[in-house]
Structure 1
Amino acid sequence: MNETVRILVVDDEAMIVMTVEDALRQAGYDVEIAHCGSDALSMLERIPEIAGIVTDIRMGNGTTGWELGREARRHNPAVAIVYMSGDSAADYPAEGVPGSIIVHKPFAPDQIASAISTQLNKIASGLG
């Protein structure tokens, strides 16, 4: 079903990356991994077929998830974006890109797969 859809997962915490990667692979997505925002930005340049991004917001120094979302949308206005946050959710209305979604940590792995699927479906139907 989703075998050709590529999702980029961005987080600096290895356990979260593994959890999200497993959930997305089980849902049938191809998954790319970046451990910081700047690596994610360079992957977006190299891999234009990325259809969605699941990103943490605060990843140490450097590019934030908010900045990544805005830059990703400049590259591809139709990219689906799901933010993950334990403490930055209050900033979502001002910082999140239009048509994105935020999932609060801690979360069940299936929530991430459901969130990206919902975002991709909205974009495919012209509602995103």
Structure 2
Amino acid sequence: MEAITILLAEDEALLLLDFEQTLNDAGFSVLAVTSGKRALEILTDTEIFIQAIVTDIRLKDYPDGWEIARVAREMDPEMPIVYVSGDSGPDWASRGVPNSIMLEKPFAMAQLVTAVAQLLNDRPVSAK
């Protein structure tokens, strides 16, 4: 069985490495990027099949995590989205996409794996 591919967008290098390692250890294939622009390039590449997204909200450049998730959901209305943020959690209810999960930094790495797995498991069978 092929590993599920997760797009990870995080501009803090140490966190990016920690998140990527945690997701790899859980059996996921991870495409890690440090910019919103690169995340959108990967999302819109028809050769790459992304099955879930983990994104920081505040990235150094445009687009931010809110926009990455919005574009992903335009392409796939059931795309699992996990937001991670140190300060944007209160905006999740109004700016986040439906059926997403917000993890506020700092969090236990197990929470990241659990959030991704939960959203993947909740995804309708037709969308898998």
Q: Which residue of 2 aligns with 1:20?
A: 19
Question: 1:1-128 alignment to 2 at 5 Å?
Answer: 3-46=2-45, 47-124=47-124
Q: Distance in 1 between matches of 2:52 and 2:3?
A: 12
TM-score (structure 2 length as normaliser): 0.92
The more displaced of 40-49 and 30-39 is 40-49
The gaps in structure 2 that reach 5 residues or longer are none
TM-score (structure 1 length as normaliser): 0.92
Equivalent position amino acid for 1:73 in 2 = R
- Deviations along 1:49-74, whole A, 9 cap, x unmatched? 10000000001231110111101100
Runs of 4+ in 1 over 6 A off after TM superposition: none
Q: Distance in 2 between matches of 1:114 and 1:121?
A: 10
Superposition deviation, residue 125 in structure 1: 5.3
Equivalent position amino acid for 1:59 in 2 = L
- Deviations along 1:58-101, whole A, 9 cap, x unmatched? 01231110111101100111211000011000000000000100
Q: Distance in 2 between matches of 1:89 and 1:125?
A: 29
SS where residue 71 of structure 1 aligns? helix
Q: Distance in 2 between matches of 1:95 and 1:37?
A: 16
Q: Distance in 2 between matches of 1:30 and 1:120?
A: 14
Equivalent position amino acid for 2:20 in 1 = E
* Number of equivalenced pairs: 125
Equivalent position amino acid for 2:84 in 1 = M
SS where residue 99 of structure 1 aligns? coil
SS where residue 44 of structure 2 aligns? helix
Q: Distance in 2 between matches of 1:11 and 1:82?
A: 12
Q: CA RMSD in A?
A: 1.5
Aligned identity (percent) is 41
